[in-house]
Amino acid sequence: MRAESKLIRDLFEGEQCLIVPVFQRPYVWDRVRNWEPLWNDIMTVSEMFHREEKPEPHFLGAVVLDSSDKDAADISVLQVIDGQQRLTTLQVVLCAVRDAFGTAGVDGRFSKVLNKLVTNEDQLSTEDFAPYKIWPTLRDRAVFAKIVGREQADSGTDSRLLDAHQYFFEETLTWLTENGLDQSRIRGLVDALRTGLQLVVIELSEADNAQVIFESLNDRGTPLLPSDLVKNALFQQLERAGADVSQIFEEYWQRLETDFWHEDVRQGRLIRTRVDAFFAHFLTMHTGEEVLSSNLFTRFKELTSALDVTGLEQFVTEIAECSDLYRRLVQRDDSEHRSLLDTAETLDSSVLFPVVLYLSRVAAPEDRAEAFSHIESWLVRRAVLKATSKNYNRMLLELLKVLRAADSDHGSVVRHYLIGNSSESGRWPTDTEIHEAFVTAPLFKLLTRPRLRMVLRGCESGLANEDAAPRDLSGVDYAVLAERRDAVSDDVRPTLGNITLTAKSTALGRTRAWTERKEILAGSGLHLNEGLPDAISDVEIAMRSSRLADGFCKRWPHPDSRAFDTSIGDQSDEAEHDVRVPDSGDAVLQTMWAGIRDYFLPLPVGTVARLGYVKLIWPR
């Protein structure tokens, strides 16, 4: 390893190209953290040159270079191990100042001096990188070439490099305008760029391990992500094994370089980039063991250290396939995943992803649908009961191990696993518990608004006829039936029977009478609003809670669920249930109670029936 301080002039004036490996991350520096501080430094040094103070070179940090197997006639080629963000930014600054000089009509000799720092003069080499002092990552190359070549970028191009060029170009024009094309100040700026900025250039020898050095370094202001370390380690291994890393990168990895993968996502209390979240889910699925972002890179190295080139290429292929699947899951491109993933998002249960990824890759479609249905029912039922979710991570890892051991019938595997868990931290709530919660629990207070909407929309789906086309419920929101002035007790008011769905644009109006509100709701076309009573009361709300519970259990069934008739039945006298009691002395009461028992026992706990519906017909 050899370290040497170099001015920008000494680093860039020679016929050389510093190539950034295709597998390093794209350009990520931004205005606030990087461009503005750099420009302020340049302005400070420029002013000192203008005053002929002969300042000491301003230190900009270190870069690490290594030898390269690429060849380009008379051009020296080195590989950038660390510092590509800094080097690329300096090249963009030089181009922007050069271009601003041209726009403002500055003496052309200054532009020519700067142009020598961004282009090579070699005319013999046919390599794509030969004309350039820096050849950035694959994603940035086309835009970078246009910037250096003073070409107009394609309309609509979204590039951080273009943003950087625009920023430094505008700052230079503003500076020129303020100083009236003062030749001494322009000379001071050019001198500052050529000899007033300094880097420590570290060139590695054959004995140095470039990957170890890369892992220990961070770019200024932009820490390396775990996924950055994974990518670099993987492609370093592929390169050492003799694989065509450019081809592998373009075919399998470049898809992970888009903005989608570098958006921040929330997982519980943590915020991380989506690509890091994906790798944690992918490695968990791949190993059947929990992999956190904090030890993602370590776990990855353990998995790949012994792989030959074939194994590495297969591993990259699997990453690509799973990343495509993960993106479809996140963007809800596949209808079969949508319901479960919408539910998981509402319940903040991202721990599902390794299981969903695994089932999506190995399970037959019908098995997958059954498995997803069971998992969703288990999640939603526990959410309604406000059951703890603290052990979901452990349970889903156990489920993943059970699934990995199964060859087929994955739907049944999931069902047996979930129903076999009897602990409070993992059991699957029954219909009886759901009915009791709907009728007695203050779910309006206990559930968050997104969860309340999810439950009500599920009830609406369950109450619909099976052959009815699914209805778009995105334009509806919850509404309260009984207002304060209605004859409903405080215990019943927050139960689910007092909540419904209606169009967001519908104003029920708290001052309207119940008969008016009922008429408005009846016109909503929602099954939730069918059969609303003429007068609202505790009994009516309790009966409606029970009916909604039926719809809920039909939408999110339990393996022991019974068949529900969720239609609004005839409530006329002809629909009354008779319990005939014979006149037989003491046996009369026994028989009467037996009849009542036979009628009520099949009904779930929480079902409310009007006493008028049960007619005791005594013998005459």
Per-residue confidence band for 358, with pLDDT thresholds at 50, 70 and 90: very high
User: Most distant CA pair in the chain: distance in Å?
Assistant: 123
How far apart are alpha carbons 388 and 391 in whole angstroms?
A: 8
Q: How many CB atoms lie within 10 A of CB 4?
A: 11
**DSSP letter, residue 293:** G
CA-to-CA dists, residue 74 to 16, 70, 263, angstroms: 8, 12, 42
Going by pLDDT thresholds of 50, 70 and 90, the confidence category of residue 421 is very high
The total of other beta-carbon atoms located within 10 Å of residue 494's CB is 15
Residue 620 confidence (pLDDT) above 50: no
Coarse DSSP helix, strand, coil percentages of the chain, rounded to the nearest 5 percent: 55, 10, 35
Residue 437 · residue 382 · CB < 8 Å: no
558, pLDDT greater than 90: yes
- Give pLDDT, residue 22: 80
Residues 599 and 577: beta-carbon distance below 8 Å? yes
Residue owning tokens 């000192």: 48
pLDDT at 516: 85
With 0.85 as the threshold, say if the pTM is over it: no
Query: Which tokens sit at 433?
Result: 């518990």
Sheet strands (E) in 391-536:
476-480, 499-503
From 452-461, 550-559, 604-613, the region with the lowest mean pLDDT: 604-613
Residue that has been written with the tokens 């700052």 in this structure: 171
Tell me the residue type at 374. H
Q: Tell me, what's the pLDDT at 169?
A: 97
Q: What average pLDDT does the segment 331-360 reach?
A: 91
Query: For residue 206, what pLDDT band results from cuts at 50, 70 and 90?
Result: low
Is residue 571 predicted with pLDDT exceeding 50?
A: no
Label residue 393 exposed, middle or buried (CB < 10 Å: 0-12, 13-18, 19+): middle
Do 497 and 543 form a contact (C-beta atoms < 8 A)? yes
> What is the helix (H) or strand (E) element at residue 417, kind and residue range?
helix 410-419
Cα–Cα distance, 544 to 479 (Å, whole number): 15
pLDDT digits (tens, 9 = 90+) for 156-196: 677 899 999 999 999 999 999 998 889 999 999 999 999 99
Over residues 132-145, the mean pLDDT reads 92
Q: How many CB atoms lie within 10 A of CB 542?
A: 19
Tens-place pLDDT, residues 237-268: 898 888 988 899 989 998 998 889 989 998 77
Listed in sequence order, the residues at least 6 apart from 259 whose beta carbon sits closer than 8 Å to its beta carbon are 158
When pLDDT is averaged across residues 120-130 and rounded to a whole number, the result is 84
pLDDT value of residue 579: 47
User: What are the structure tokens assigned to 111, written together?
Assistant: 């532009």
Looking up tokens 């890179």 gives 297
Tokens 């009984």 — which residue?
Answer: 482
- Measured in degrees and rounded to the nearest 5, phi and psi for residue 476 equal -115, 160
Percent of the chain with pLDDT over 70: 84
Higher pLDDT, 608 or 457: 457
pLDDT of residue 312: 95
Q: What percent of the chain has pLDDT over 90?
A: 55
- pLDDT given at position 221: 47
pLDDT band with cut points at 50, 70 and 90 for residue 226: confident
Q: What is the pLDDT of residues 505-525, one digit of tens each?
A: 566 666 678 888 888 888 888
- What does the pLDDT read at residue 473? 72
118 vs 15, 112, 142, 559, CA distance in Å? 10, 10, 15, 69
Range with the poorest average pLDDT among 71-75, 280-284, 462-466: 71-75
Q: pLDDT of 520-540, one tens digit each?
A: 888 888 899 898 888 888 989
The one-letter amino acid code at 444 reads: F
pLDDT higher for 566 or 290? 290
Which residue in 50, 148, 134 sits closest to 96, CA to CA? 148
Q: What is the mean pLDDT of residues 46-64?
A: 89
499 or 205: which leads in pLDDT: 499
Q: What integer best gives the mean pLDDT of the chain?
A: 85
Alpha helices in 70-225 (DSSP H): 84-104, 108-115, 138-148, 160-179, 183-195, 210-215
User: Among all chains, which residue has been given the structure tokens 């490695």?
Assistant: 283
Helix (H) or strand (E) holding 203: strand 197-203
Is the CA virtual torsion 574, 579, 581, 582 positive or negative? positive
Provide the pLDDT for residue 525.
84
Tokens found for residue 359: 């089932």
Nearest-angstrom CA–CA distance, 405 and 288: 10
Instruction: Give the residue among 577, 581, 579 at the shortest CA–CA distance from 609.
Output: 577
Cα separation of 531 and 544, whole Å? 9
